[in-house]
Amino acid sequence: MNSLQSQARCPLFYTGLMLPAGVTERIAALLGPRGYLDRIEDLTLYEYDGSVDKHRPDLVVFPRTTADVAAIAGIAREFQVPFVGRGAGTGLSGGAIPREGGIMVAFARMNRILEIDIENQRAVVQPGVVNLDITQAVQESGYFYAPDPSSQRACTLGGNVAENAGGPHTLAYGVTTNHVLGLEMVFPDATIVETGGKELDLPGYDLTGLFTGSEGTMALVSKVTVRLMRKAEMVKTILAVYESSEDAGRTVAEITARAITPVAVEMLDGVMLRMVEEATHAGYPMDAAAVLLIELEGLREAVEEQVEQIREACLVSGAREFRVARTPEERDLLWKGRKNAFGAVGRVSPTYYVQDGVVPRTKIAPTLHFIGEVAREYGLTISNIFHAGDGNMHPIILFDARKPGDLDKARAAGEAILTYCIEAGGSITGEHGVGMEKNELMAKLFSPETLDMIRRLKDLFDPDNRLNPGKVLPTGRGCLEIRQAPLTAGATIY
């Protein structure tokens, strides 16, 4: 089980939006009998993602073309029904959960790579294309697609764009927005708009950047133009082993001080690495307090010199062991352990809660100390696996949802950690998004004036607040009062 898939954050006893008469018939005429789902047993499969929330849609539809998406938006507008887009459902903040029911637009059938332009280092894909499939399509030509979320074998480009997904190699390559050059989008009024393109830069406002990371609250992405990158001449993957998490945290600052930028610096604490090793047999030491997984890429001479500088930085910071992967197979095994970490947790704990705070690199060590204090205060096991290079923390709170009060304790612990991240000069999310999990914390991060500007921007593109309502912005109301604007006709919550 991934995260809290069986638990709802709020006690939403869902009985349905009661779609207006005629909606299903119109969808059936558009997509055919196999183009939608409306049976309860089918809809239940779409009521959650990988986060802490759960809410069932009234109808799940499967468009195949941009024209289909526009027609669906038109039907939703005509009947004043809320709707939300969904990729693979791997999100970790509730971004794809239909908080008010309505229509879920699932992009699983818009999964074609439309164009590969190796000469200009570009690809054009539909939103349902799996992240890793882009790299697999171009790797024989010596190229790859850089953003690599841990779920890259399942997550799709539409979801990556919505959440501005990152991954272990964010430190050097950046997040999704750094690799998306153009978008085709469908707006709530059924208008189809294109922004950006294959060109390196275009005049005017950066609309592509505006919509990347907007969490599907202003438009549905129907096509994406991405940047491809050439593989490096040499890659070296390093495993540094520590007797304390604080020493591992200090190593990151030491590497930064030496003006070295690895493509990845990942940290696993002792609790996490033991779960990972038991599940994947990747070669992690079972008795260590923490490990750093460090990767370098570039020209051969530069990489070999940096390996020695990294060795010095690790040893001076207290590393007890320093290993360099000798073969591609050994490197792949180390990364297999990192990428399969969340699955490894599922072997140990029936439910867990993944957080996504960000702190300055210099605050990693004290943040780890604080997380340990939170674990002791709430009597919970909290393991840590995160992108240490950019301070993107992923404490994983283990608990048993069957025990009364455990879920509440996990939520309280998560909020305490994110509040600390804000106070340390960081953020409540680095790559998972705000969604409906962290929207009430937005008021701790931004001023009322800034939140009002975000709200007005949302209203500009979605004045009726029908597209993915109840996300990103704080509601300031009770659990069931989730809209950011008055309910429109036909939208009732039971």
Residue 156: inside a domain, yes or no?
A: yes
**pLDDT value of position 493:** 28
**pLDDT value of position 476:** 67
**pLDDT value of position 413:** 97
Last residue of one domain, picked from the residues 202, 230, 258: 230
**pLDDT value of position 2:** 39
Residue 218: inside a domain, yes or no?
A: yes
Last residue of one domain, picked from the residues 203, 230, 257: 230
CATH number of residue 259's parent domain: 3.30.70.2190
492 Cβ contact list (under 8 Å, min separation 6): 17, 18
* Residues spanned by the domain of 300: 234-343
**55 and 152 together in one domain:** no
**pLDDT value of position 401:** 84
**128 and 94 together in one domain:** no
**265 and 304 together in one domain:** yes
Contact 217, 467 (CB under 8 A): yes
**90 and 143 together in one domain:** no
**pLDDT value of position 435:** 95
Residue 243: inside a domain, yes or no?
A: yes
**318 and 218 together in one domain:** no
**338 and 270 together in one domain:** yes
327 Cβ contact list (under 8 Å, min separation 6): none
Contact 382, 420 (CB under 8 A): no
Question: Helix or strand or coil: residue 433?
Answer: coil
Residue 49: inside a domain, yes or no?
A: yes
CATH number of residue 224's parent domain: 3.30.465.10
| Mean pLDDT for all residues in the chain | 91
**167 and 204 together in one domain:** yes
Residue 457: inside a domain, yes or no?
A: no
**223 and 155 together in one domain:** yes
List, run by run, the mean pLDDT of 10-residue segments along the chain (494 residues). Answer: 36 54 97 97 95 92 98 98 97 95 98 98 98 98 96 96 96 96 98 94 92 98 98 96 92 91 95 92 93 96 96 97 95 91 86 93 90 96 93 94 90 96 97 94 96 96 96 68 34 28
**pLDDT value of position 479:** 37
- Starting at the edge strand found earlier in the chain, the sheet holding 59-61 runs 36-37, 59-61, 103-106, 83-86
**226 and 268 together in one domain:** no
**245 and 291 together in one domain:** yes
Contact 338, 295 (CB under 8 A): no
**pLDDT value of position 484:** 38
**220 and 119 together in one domain:** yes
Q: What is the count of structural domains for the chain?
A: 3
Last residue of one domain, picked from the residues 343, 374, 389: 343
pLDDT in tens, 328-346: 999 999 999 898 888 889 8
**pLDDT value of position 475:** 82
